Amino acid sequence: MSQLTHINAVGEAHMVDVSAKAETVREARAEVFVEMQATTLEMIIDGSHHKGDVFATARIAGIQAAKRTWELIPLCHPLMLSKVEVNLQAQPEHSRVRIESLCRLTGKTGVEMEALTAASVAALTIYDMCKAVQKDMVIGPLRLLAKSGGKSGDFKADEAHD
């Protein structure tokens, strides 16, 4: 079984020393859903929301969040991300929005937390912008879809179930 990398020999939390690691291309993708009433989703799709373009705002918020993950999550390293994408897709048949994020860099540590943070904050931004019209939206599940690069190798999540 793998060891917790952020816990030292005496059980204390610490930031992992990555100075001896080789730089490799690393990439991670994450997804999350925001479930809402059909009328709320329609307002987003047709652009009639009084706060403006919900998807554009959520996309920018997700990108900003990925870049600032190290300030939000203790023990995360500050990273020089080379690519951040946040894609939002309305899924009227499920009355939800699907958010997928992608983060990439060439570096010594992975970008899973950045991808998860980007997706999370994009979802929270949708909630924030739409809470005046619906407070019972549901965010989740949030998950890592895939990661590549680094010592631990590649990971691909099982297919999602609707």
CATH of the domain at 121: 3.30.70.640
Q: Residue 1 falls within a domain, yes or no?
A: no
Per-residue confidence in pLDDT tens, the chain, 162 aa: 466 666 667 777 767 778 888 899 999 999 999 999 999 999 999 987 777 899 999 999 999 999 999 999 988 999 999 999 999 999 999 999 999 999 999 999 999 999 999 999 999 999 999 999 999 999 999 999 999 998 888 999 998 756
The residues annotated with a catalytic role in the active site are 128
Exposed, middle or buried: residue 3 (CB in 10 Å: 0-12, 13-18, 19+)? exposed
Place of tokens 């390293």: 77
Q: Residue 4 falls within a domain, yes or no?
A: no
Task: Count the domains in the chain.
Answer: 1
The confidence score (pLDDT) of residue 4 equals 62
- For residue 156, count other CB atoms closer than 10 A to its CB: 11
Q: Which amino acid, one-letter code, is at 86?
A: V
Residue 76 labelled as part of a binding site: yes
For residues 41 and 46, what is the distance between their CA atoms, to the nearest angstrom?
9
Q: Residue 33 falls within a domain, yes or no?
A: yes
Place of tokens 């570096």: 107
State the pTM of this model. 0.91
Q: Residue 101 falls within a domain, yes or no?
A: yes
Residue 94 labelled as part of a binding site: no
